[in-house]
Amino acid sequence: MMQSRTHTCGELRMEHVGNKVTLAGFMENVRIVGSNFAFVVLRDFYGTTQLVIESEEMMAIIKDLNKESTLQVAGVVRERASKNPKLDTGDIEVVPERIEVLGRCRHNALPFEISRSREADELQRLKYRYLDLRNPAVKDKIILRCQVVAALRKAMMEHNFLEITTPILTASSPEGARDYLVPARKHPGKFYALPQAPQQFKQLLMTSGFDRYFQIAPCFRDEDARGDRSPGEFYQLDMEMAFACQDDVFTIIEDVLPPIFAKYGTYNIASAAPFRRIAYNDSMETYGSDKPDFRIDLIVQDITDIASDCGFEPFRDNLVKAVVVSDCKLARKAVDKLMSEVEVQAGNKAYWFRLDDSGELVGGIAKFLADRKDTLIEKLDLKPGCLVGVSAGKKDAALKTAGVLRNKFGAACDGHMDREKYEFCWIVDFPMYEIGDESGELEFCHNPFSMPSGGLETLLKAERGEINPLDIMANQYDLVCNGVELSSGAVRNHDPEIMIKAFELVRLGEEDVKAKFPAMYNAFTYGAPPHAGIAPGVDRMVMLLAGEESIREIIPFPMNKSAQDVMMGAPSEVTQKQLDELSIAIVKKEE
């Protein structure tokens, strides 16, 4: 028995009829029927219970209260005359003998109806998040998050991983995003950085002799928001294994995640081990993406040899890619709208044509391709009713646009997407290097600390000009589910000699590596074990499990798209005294 209540608002049933009970919760609704008769809905974390007011004394208390006031109610349980089968407590009601107001709501009008808060403006929801979370539909997403985190932690410990926390205040390091900096009061002019990830610390743990590490790790990156990425901070299931290779990591993830997705997901079907594996280059060519959604049965095909000289200017001297949808019933207006959406998302125009029931090419750019109809039909295996989406441009642009076309067609056209399951895959064999868009020189493609396939010998061959550095693959991998990248991971480059040689190819020497990563480099010189790891994003996993499109729906107190906490007023100005203590002067930029 709790001090303020004997039962929760979701607990009472027919077996409690006749019992005296004490409930506590929020007054969700009140419906006054007569001078001394009213129905009140009381809500707490666990559910709702109907109260029936039948006395002048109780009515005097209720009629002056605003909705969402918190109450303690003592009364008798009785059977409802008009039952509500939609509610767990729909067979009973409570007749209050005593009502105490624990917390009065002093606002006649709420910012939004609690039960319909998800329909409200997002700014209002974030500003009054404590009210938004009272909505059971919103609250349930946070409960799901708690359950998933607990399940992940339990599964990792069952696989003999130790949960070890790593520092939040650390040194700034170049890891791909902007750091959040924290001024060091005792060291004027110097700054800590919040970790973008515990990457270096978990590798140092492997060097320290710990065999299996994990934590539900907070990560901080000063980057822009998007649907599947929260600005500021996020959490990941961070893990690392000593004396391990890629397959060891895959085995753990393929054992841990599918049962959790099947149990807690919107869909109860999840890929069984082993997950499908596809090389990065193959994924880009076949699906137009390095995070393909395998619930969609469409593929990207190359028609450059047929279409590049057809007289349509955007195809000239460019790659031309096609995505074919069989038996597509979309009307022309719907297809044009879809093409506009593709252009917005891909930043590149998309085109279309159709093979009609008479076997002619119609619509969109059909007139430019009419004289090569038969070749197209044979190359793409077209049947009457097929809709063909087309992209063109330099390699990256053409493939990216084709990938967006594939996703849009799969979602819009019946029969090409099996929505109700979780389809995992591994993307493997990432290029180690690329030519930078801005520099025009060789740069690391992804993680500079991944072990290059072939080790030192491969790097030496590239140095001697025997192979092209762009052909070097990294022992790096991504975990993808339903077209969402959950994580990147890698077999780490634990050998200082190989590490230095990998950096030398991008014009950085041993001193540069020592300066940027002193602790990790020095630790590796004392004999580091081979190790590998991964860090699936907890927020993205829960978003997929909840069937939500916005990651903010599954974060208790999210920031808005501009990385502002409008509820707490962060970021905020600070006093001059605080700035002086930190030896900081604010200099405004000239307009």
pLDDT per residue as tens digits for the range 463-485: 999 999 999 999 999 999 999 99
User: Which residue ranges does the chain devote to CATH 3.30.1360.30?
Assistant: 296-412
Looking at domain 14-103, its CATH architecture is: Beta Barrel (2.40)
CA angle 517, 522, 527 (to 5 degrees): 130
Q: What torsion, rounded to 10 degrees, do the Cα atoms 488, 489, 490, 496 define?
A: 90
Residues 234, 219: Cα–Cα separation, whole Å: 5
Nearest Cα to 551, choosing from 264, 233, 324, 296?
233
Query: Model confidence over 19-51: pLDDT tens digits?
Result: 999 999 999 999 999 888 999 999 999 999 999
Question: Percent of the chain, pLDDT > 70?
Answer: 98
Please give the CATH number for the structural domain made up of 296-412: 3.30.1360.30
Confidence tier at 1 by pLDDT (50, 70, 90): very low
Q: Which of 30-39, 256-265, 442-451, 495-504 has the lowest mean pLDDT?
A: 442-451
What's the rounded Cα separation, in Å, for the pair 196 and 206? 19
* pLDDT tens-digit map of 539-554: 999 999 999 989 999 9
164-201, pLDDT tens digit by residue? 999 999 998 766 678 999 999 999 999 999 999 999 99
In whole angstroms, give the CA distance from residue 443 to residue 92: 69
> Which among 479, 498, 476 is positioned nearest to 487, based on CA atoms?
479
The whole-chain average pLDDT of the chain stands at 94
How does DSSP classify residue 272? P
Phi, psi of 553 (to 5 degrees): -70, -20
Outline where 4-132 has alpha helix (H).
56-62, 122-127, 129-132
212-231 confidence digits (pLDDT tens) = 999 999 999 988 777 677 88
pLDDT confidence of residue 225: 72
Q: Are 287 and 299 in contact (CB under 8 A)?
A: yes
User: What mean pLDDT do residues 331-348 have?
Assistant: 95
How far apart CA 96 and CA 148 sit, in angstroms, is: 39
Span(s) in the chain for CATH 2.40.50.140: 14-103
Of 299, 307, 297, 313, nearest to 376 by C-alpha is 307
Helix, coil or strand: residue 5: strand
Average of pLDDT values for 489-493?
A: 96
164-178, 339-353, 370-384, 449-463 — which is least confidently predicted?
A: 164-178
Element (H, E) at 74: strand 70-79
Q: What is the pLDDT of residue 446?
A: 79
Give the pLDDT score at 174. Answer: 66
Assign 513 a pLDDT band (cuts: 50, 70, 90): confident
Cα separation of 25 and 7, whole Å? 11
Contacts of 5 (CB under 8 A, 6+ apart): 22, 23, 24, 72
- Per-residue pLDDT at 515: 86
What's the pLDDT at 224? Answer: 79
For residue 362, pLDDT over 50 is answered with yes
Between the two ends of the chain, the Cα-to-Cα distance in Å is 64
Task: Answer whether residue 2 shows pLDDT above 80.
Answer: no
Mean pLDDT of 358-384: 94
* pLDDT, tens digit, 9 for 90 and up, residues 61-113: 999 999 999 999 999 999 999 999 999 999 999 999 999 999 999 999 999 99
Q: Beta strand 162-163 with 212-221: parallel, antiparallel or unpaired?
A: parallel
